[in-house]
Structure 1
Amino acid sequence: MKSRIAEQIKIAAGVDFSQIEIESWIEKPKFSTMGDFAFPCFRLAKEFKKAPNLIAAEIAQTFKLKEVERTEAVGGYLNFYLDLPLYSAKVLKEVIDKRAGYGQKDLGKGKSISIDLSSPNIAKPFSMGHLRSTVIGNALANVTEKLGYKVIRINHIGDWGTQFGKLITAYQKWGSEEQVKTSPIAELHKLYVYFHEQAELNPSLDDEARVWFKRLEDGDEEAVRLWEWFRKVSLEAFSAVYEKLNISFDSFNGEAFYNDKMNDVIAMLEDEGLIEESEGARVVRLDDEGLPPCLIQKRDGATLYATRDLAAAFYRKREYSFEKSLYVVGNEQSLHFKQLKAILKKLNILWAEDLVHISFGMMLKDGKKMSTRKGKIVLLEKVLEQSTALAAEAIEEKNPNLKEKQQVAEAVGIGAIMFHDLKVFRQNDVHFELKDMLRFEGETGPYVQYAHARACSILRKAAVKDSSFSNSKVAPASFGEEERAIVMKISAFEEVIEEAFAEWDPSKIAKYAIDLAQLFNQYYAHTHILNELDEEVKAQRLLLLESITIVLKESLRLLGIQAPEEM
């Protein structure tokens, strides 16, 4: 609707501004009494050399659009009041006809966007600290696909680096093959933590670890055998978590995949004269970018994240021809990605700006960062089990006769964890508190899911089938202000999806779902639906409810969360 209003403003005002620019200026008034949309005519004052209130009055005289019932010029603003029955009928029919396809656009036209997400480290537990990259990246992938892009989900597994030297050292000194086979991740993590405790007392252990990692890089048979074993058991454990989260990947190419691809990058840097010696190590200086030098190779010849990520960037561009390459990685890696892009620019790589760091805050427990090294972690798999068990208890209490209780408990329990993360603007920290996540009231996943299930329940009682309104000619003539708020919220879905994509911010979808659920609950509390005597009015209200269920379900799907029809 904003687009159509902008088109008519352009015609009525006779200005040279583009329709898209005018559309970006159109606002949503704070109160419905001020209209459904508003255009600030201050934007045209310089062009027209007139007072904004006069411009508003002049545009109002010639503005014509079928869905707009009336316009009103107030203090430099031109307010638009929609014809509610006409507009509602149009919006709701579109929702019913398109169903899950509502809000879908072809902005991407099939172009590729790669998304580097999750990326846990081998031989370490999948903790709550890994959740953020996983669910934020998955939600952005869903949103990106919704807008017509081809998405490549990449799980850049941390399967290389000095930590493997530490782990191999710890296993050789204190490990038991039998114990590792019995409980691989728990035992390997215990060895990793114990290594750091002992290294504080005996720093020479760090030297031993460096030697083992160099042996691994050089292809030492024993080092490679242990590394492959640690990687295999870790990926098996990770797959169980991803299955619970219903998240899949197109590539598990981790850091080790680029071992044979880094020499080409180093040669390229050498050819351009960008590599310098610094205390025995090799660096690329970035003084002109206001950044510290980027370490490419250590003194012992071992490679680093930057070398590997440069190789990965070139590989992904060749392999996927990406329009954008997204890295969903924490705020603390901001310097790394600035250095990465700066080096690519020095190499005159035109697509350097297409690399985007989607940064996010930390997951905090008791106000502190969770640390794998110090053993202060909360295992994600355990949390998902606990949240599912708590959801099952709540379902048993509220609806003991519910069919498929376990499946619903998993959808609610796991969805609660994901929603709690995604409702927060990604750059802010998230505080881990299980009870807060599972509340059925307030801004939670279960609250949105329950609103969806409640609306589905009403439709079931009314014997409404999925296709019952597909060719409906019902015009919602009885709609008033409560319905207006819901219709306007539903019609904003497409815009919210585009905003979430433009700002790489899935919290916009989560907040939208909360708002729509709240509007539905308010409406349900004050409006007769099933016991409405006027059959035409009843049909109109059921039409509205079915539209709500479609949009709530699709909102949750974009976040990677299920929407049970019964709870």
Structure 2
Amino acid sequence: MNNKEIVAKAIFDVVKDDLSLEQVEQLLENPKSVDHGDVAFPAFSLAKVYRKAPQQIAADLAEKIDGQSFEKIEVVGPYLNFFMSKSMISEKILKEIMTQKSHYGDSTIGNHGKVPIDLSSPNIAKPISMGHLRSTVIGNSIGFILEKIGYEPIRINHLGDWGTQFGKLIVAYKKWGSEEAVKAHPITELLRLYVEFHEVAEKEPELNDEARAWFKRLEEDDAEALSLWQWFRDESMEEFNKIYTMLGVEFDSLNGEAFYNDKMEEITNMLEEKHLLKEDQGAEIVDLSAYDLNPALIRKSDGATLYITRDLAAALYRKRTYDFAKSIYVVGNEQSYHFKQLKAVLKEMGFDWSDDMYHVRFGLITQGGKKLSTRKGKIVLLEEVLNEAIDSANEQISEKNPDLENKEEVAKQVGVGAVIFHDLKNDRMNNFDFNLEEVVRFEGETGPYVQYTHARAMSLLAKAGYTETTNADFKLNDEASWEVIKLIQKYPETVMQAAEKYEPSVIAKHAIKLAQTFNKYYAQTKILTEDDQKDARLALVHAVAILLKEDLRLLGLKAPNKM
């Protein structure tokens, strides 16, 4: 139970004839100052019932409430201010976390429900840029958070692995490419060929006809076309996987656009059977005026299907395959309208499970306030940013701790972690500015700061020769430890809030606050002093280390024991 629940129960036992437990809980407030206690109850709401002044009601309640969970209950005008029993709550919380360890804050609310998460989704034969970072790390973190409350996440990388660009690539490869060049630098070479195709096609437009012909062969399962397509895809995935390995992201499915080629006809047939397809200037649409939306274009006049047709097929496939409890699409804010149309068409088709589909939107990464790009207007490669972050971490670790074992591995964990954390500490809907120097700092609200605090806690435990126990006296009653205890106590609530909002920043902000509060405690308290509270103080340090590591894990970061 958190502090509000403890206070609500104590008040409810006295006012149960007049207010429900839920009503009491809703009336409770967090005082602005610690001088006014931990929880406050305004007595105004009982004035009509008891026909007394709120000040008098507050005074009467204070006399009747069972005070065993509180150090004191103060009456200040119409308010009852509750000061929680620090020693009682610290003992309860520390025992809980010593028993449950990293499972503290776990829940079974998800009831093993499957949750497909559509994330990352780069295009084959094109590099993974910083633009792909947000979808990848937000989706990965949401997977960990939902897993903690009892769901089964299914991470899907819906690859951009189909379309006319493959006809262009095949033409370019056959004219100007070589197997050796593609194998040596797959993405760079395939991108070079793609760019060359466009440059030449400006002067020789007949190249576009060749590309269309090759893509048609690909659609008709021509052996040579399919073989080249598969090879381009495999080579690209090998390159992508280097970056995913650096980020620590793993996928359960790589079913991309190509996978749904043979599944779209069923969708168009269903729409026809349900009389939802209407002709409009030779194209076929679904009217969505009932939803205040523009018509959804399902099939062009030349018979070609569109993104939405493919996404309808993907949604139906995922429902049939996983029978999902909810289905999540971690895709940029600019795709909002597409997902509104997608859900509306599914609703029109009679699929009420479309209500369980959620578009988890996010803002842009900017640099110097502008949309991310280098001076030449080229994309910023994610791999280059990660490598620069690792180098920066390496330099700082070499200065701080030159004799650190496995320094290279720790630099990777800190550098990559810094980039991920910087993204996730921002509310996902906000745009944010990226400056590598600020990102990999060991001070301030950064990933390295949280990791360093975890390492500091572990170092302190090692110095103390600490051994875990659940039998020690865990009572703490000083103000500095109380601030830390309150953050630990709020953790299950924090996890639930992050899951309900699909918002990893809730976890990142908890990690920053816990690290800051612990460092303040560390500065004010002689933790290793031999007295009757030493075991309790060390248990608190251990609890902080456990939760910081778990916070970092939920964000997709590692927590080195030494830095």
Normalised by the size of structure 1, how large is the TM-score?
0.92
Counterpart CA distance in 2 for 1:222 and 1:50 is: 88
**CA shift at 1:487, angstroms?**
0.8
Q: What do the CA deviations read for 1:269-314 (whole angstroms, capped 9, x no partner)? A: 1111111222322221212212112121222222221111111111
Corresponding position: 1:227 with 2:229: yes
Shift of 1:54: 5.6
- For the structure 1 residues 174 and 541, does the alpha-carbon distance in structure 2 shift closer, same or farther, using more than 3 Å as the test? same
Which residue of the partner structure matches residue 524 of structure 1? 522
1:485 equivalent to 2:487? Answer: no
1:271, 1:54 → 2: CA distance?
A: 71
State the distance in 2 between where 1:148 and 1:305 align.
32
Structure 2: runs of 5 or more not aligned: none
Q: Structure 2 CA distance, aligned partners of 1:59 and 1:224?
A: 78
* Aligned counterparts of 2:195 and 2:59: Cα–Cα separation in 1: 72
- CA deviation vs aligned residue, 1:450-486 (integer Å, no higher than 9, x gap): 1111111111110113x2x32223422xx32111111
Query: Counterpart in 2 of 1:118?
Result: 120
Name the CA shift for 1:475/1:222 in 2 (closer, same or farther; >3 Å). same
For normalisation by structure 2, the TM-score amounts to 0.93
Instruction: Give distance in 1, aligned partners of 2:342 and 2:167.
Output: 25
2:285 equivalent in structure 1 = 283
User: Match for 2:122: what amino acid?
Assistant: P
Q: Distance in 2 between matches of 1:48 and 1:120?
A: 65
Q: 1:537 to 1:275 in 2, by over 3 A?
A: same
**Structure 2 CA distance, aligned partners of 1:69 and 1:159?**
64
The residue correspondences of 1:11-50 to structure 2 (distance < 5 A) are: 11-14=13-16, 19=21, 22-23=24-25, 25-41=27-43
1:459–1:176: structure 2 CA closer, same or farther, 3 Å change rule? same
Counterpart of 1:566 in 2: which secondary structure? coil
Q: Is the 8 A contact 1:384 1:413 kept in 2?
A: yes
Contact 2:67 2:73 in 1 (8 A): no
- CA distances 1:412-453 after superposition (whole Å, capped 9, x unpaired): 111101100000100111322211110011000000011111
Aligned residue in 2 for 1:471: 471
Match of 1:505 among 499, 503, 506: 503
- Which SS does the other structure have where 1:483 is aligned? helix
Change (3 A) 1:187 1:43: farther
Counterpart of 1:91 (choices 90, 93, 101) is 93
The counterpart of 1:344, out of the listed 343, 346, 350, is 346
Q: Give matches, 1:73-472, under 5 Å.
A: 73-74=75-76, 76-196=78-198, 209-370=211-372, 376-465=378-467, 467=468, 469-472=469-472
Given that 1:3 and 1:19 are in contact with CA atoms closer than 8 Å, whether structure 2 keeps it comes out as: no
1:535 equivalent in alignment to 2:537: no
Letter in 2 for 1:485: E
Gaps of 5+ in 1: none
**Residue matched to 1:565:** 561
In structure 1, distance between residues paired with 2:22 and 2:174: 64
Change (3 A) 1:22 1:170: farther
CA displacement 1:323-375 (0-9 Å, x = unmatched): 11011111011011000111111112121110000000112234333479x97
Does the C-alpha gap of structure 1 residues 37 and 206 become closer, same or farther in structure 2, counting only changes over 3 Å?
farther
The alignment partner of 1:261 has SS state of helix
Q: Which moved more, 1:125-134 or 1:185-194?
A: 185-194
C-alpha deviation, 1:199, in angstroms: 6.0
Partner in structure 2 of residue 72 of structure 1: 74
Does the C-alpha gap of structure 1 residues 288 and 518 become closer, same or farther in structure 2, counting only changes over 3 Å?
same
The one-letter code sitting in structure 1 at the alignment partner of 2:490 is: A
Give the Cα–Cα distance (whole angstroms) in 1 for the partners of residues 18 and 307 of structure 2.
50
Identity of aligned residues (%): 53
Structure 1 pair 339–562 and aligned structure 2 pair: CA distance change class (3 A): same
Deviations 1:384-419 (A, max 9, x none): 222112211111111011111111111111110110
Bigger drift between 513-522 and 209-218 goes to: 209-218
Contact 1:34 1:79 in 2 (8 A): yes
What one-letter code is carried by the residue in structure 2 that aligns with 1:536? D
CA contact (8 A) 2:473 2:533 kept: no
Bigger Cα displacement from structure 2, 231-240 vs 13-22? 13-22
Deviation at 1:16, TM superposition (A): 7.3
Aligned pair count reads 560
Task: State the Cα distance separating 1:174 from its structure 2 match.
Answer: 4.0
Which residue in 2 is equivalent to 1:550? 546
The alpha-carbon deviation at position 21 of structure 1 amounts to 6.0
Residue 242 and residue 19 in structure 1: after superposition, are their counterparts in 2 closer, same or farther (change >3 A)? Answer: farther
Quick one: structure 1 residues 237 and 408, their matched pair in 2 at CA, closer, same or farther if it must change by over 3 Å? same
Gap change, CA 1:328 and 1:89, over 3 Å in 2: same
Flag the 1:205–1:348 CA change in 2: closer, same or farther, 3 A.
same
Equivalent position SS for 1:535:
coil
Distance change >3 Å, CA 336–CA 45, structure 1 → 2: farther
Kindly provide the amino acid, as one letter, of the partner of residue 246 in structure 1: G
CA offsets 1:108-153 (integer angstroms, 9 cap, x no match): 1222222111121111112111111111111111111111112212
Q: Give the CA deviation at 1:205.
A: 5.9
Give, as a single letter, the amino acid of the residue that structure 1 aligns with 2:542: E
Displacement, 1:379?
A: 1.6
Q: Which residue identity does 2:401 align to in structure 1? A: N
Per mean C-alpha deviation after superposition, the further-off stretch among 438-447 and 111-120 is 111-120
Deviation at 1:204, TM superposition (A): 6.6
Query: Quick one: distance in 2 between partners of 1:512 and 1:191?
Result: 47
Do the aligned partners of residues 535 and 181 (structure 1) sit closer, same or farther apart at CA in structure 2, a change above 3 Å counting?
Answer: same
Deviation of 1:58 (Å): 4.9
CA distance in 2, matches of 1:161, 1:4: 59
CA contact (8 A) 1:326 1:356 kept: yes
Distance in 2 of aligned mates of 1:308 and 1:565: 46
Point out the more displaced range, 13-22 or 252-261.
13-22
Tell whether the 8 Å contact from 1:3 to 1:20 is kept in structure 2 after alignment: no
The alpha-carbon deviation at position 50 of structure 1 amounts to: 7.2
Structure-2 change in CA distance of 1:25 and 1:113 (3 Å): farther
Matches of 1:192 and 1:509 in 2, distance apart?
Answer: 41
Give the residue type in structure 1 aligned to 2:538: L
Separation of aligned partners in 2, 1:107 and 1:47: 37
What is the root-mean-square deviation in Å for CA atoms of aligned residues?
A: 2.5
**1:201 Cα deviation from its structure 2 partner:** 6.9
How far off is 1:19 after superposition?
Answer: 4.1
Could you list the per-position Cα deviations for residues 65-116 of structure 1 after superposition, in whole angstroms to 9, with x for gaps in the alignment?
Answer: 6323333344554432100111111111111111111111111122222211
Q: Residue 182 of structure 1: CA displacement?
A: 1.6
AA of the residue aligned to 2:296: C
Write the distance in 1 (CA, Å) between the matches of 2:228 and 2:42. Answer: 66
Report the AA paired with residue 360 of structure 1. F
